[in-house]
Structure 1
Amino acid sequence: MRLTVGVLPSTVEETKRFSEWLLDIGEGKVGGDNDGVATVEIPSDLLITDSLDPIESLIQFVYPSVLERYKDRDYFSERAILTPKNEVVHEINDRLLELFPGEQTEYLSSDSICATKKGIDSFQQELYSPDVLNGLKISGLPNHRLVTFLGKRVIEAEIISGANVGTRTFIPRIRMIPFDKKIPFAFQRRQFPVAVCFAMTINKSQGQSLSKVGLFLKEPVFTHGQLYVALSRVKSREGVKMLILDKDGKPTNTTTNVVYKEVFTHL
């Protein structure tokens, strides 16, 4: 559906072939019919192959001339780098932030253990010190340290997508308590509820239509349909490039596609 909007007559056949390839990725038919985890080969024109600095090449594809256009809200509204895991998202976001000129403003969160009925003894307070809590990076929770170019006490932001494009809004700090089963204790973080979004996880990108997508697979996708979701965000074949790294960190042309056929029987 994304690919057919505004398609030029001269590219109808190419668009049709690309859309059929995307559907085959989603149904697990590329590289042979499979039910589970399969290795697929990606067409060469969709790949980043630069071996010297492949991440820089991916950034240049998605965000060309970013230092000349970073004040243009429309420039950022339809492009993103996608990757399976949050730690790689932070890596890409930090690298892009380093490019921007101007004085930085650093926002540090206030983290503390949540009070319980039994109370917190001195050993637990020492075990879960502020330094430990500050270092936690949890999905759905802003990081302890945020670096931006915005206000010191409140963030004034402009909405660049959706129904309220152009609307200015003020964002205060709020208290948040994550519910992550991997954390054996409850704590709260007081921080601005924002995150840098040059890059985002594939799961977070669901539902978006983008003109430029860079898919960074430092590690393969790991859940059903992730590869299809990432590739199908884009509006044209020319708008997507993939950077796939092998176990030695070198660009490669094969990756994992995870498709479990039993999922389709319950749709």
Structure 2
Amino acid sequence: MSVTDQHKTHQTFGGKIVVLRGDFRQILPVIPKGSRHDILASAINSSHLWLFCKVLKLHTNIRLLMSSSNQDDGEMKIFANWILDVGNGNIGSVVGDELEVKIPNDLLITTTDDPLSHLVDFAYPNLLQNILDYRDGKRVFEPDTTCQADENEDVKQEWFTPEFLNDIKCSGLLNHKLTLKPGVAVMLLRNIDQTSGLCNGTRLIVNILDSNVIGAAVVTGRNIGNKVYIPRMNLILQIQDCHLSSNGDNFH
């Protein structure tokens, strides 16, 4: 802060405008091994700064704009309104300390013999016919190195063998080995380029597998048929239980 702004030191964020984005009603903070109280206490609306915040609400449903037909648009609008009513507490009845919500029949899996297979067939019809032999796919490996930091200088690198690092599975980090092949359907987990439709949740069909890039075609939204290329992206993840940082150069 400059000398001329010293009179603003008593103001929140030094008088600067700070944009906080997200929806804590849908996505709560992640507190490893934290209780429900710890999670709620970490939300921005539990902070004393919340009194100085002005809430700006979104009024346009982007997913509705991405629908490919009028029928999809109507179904998504009904579903979006239902989800909003559930979040606002307009649907359901209070039983004790819990709210019971009746799920519409069209959102339920009625079969009981193999519900997972039924869900896969509904989301990806004729999946087996459209995908070639899975064993012929190309395996994509992630690096198995750790980042040397000041706080873990006393930790010997030989303690963490490649086998141990390869078995680590946690939120935000992909598995060490992925088996992909041309023709397989994948979902993007990172926001890369919104104008090209490369957002979290975009579904793609893999066309090209290279060492540092994956070529694919968009199959959802307004950019259906567009050819895109997904590069490797560096990801550093803090693994609290092991007191180390994992450096992953991988696809998302």
> Of the two, which has the highest radius of gyration?
2
TM-score (norm 1): 0.46
Q: Bigger relative contact order, structure 1 or 2, given CA contacts below 8 A and separation 6+? A: 1
Q: Normalising by structure 2, report the TM-score.
A: 0.48
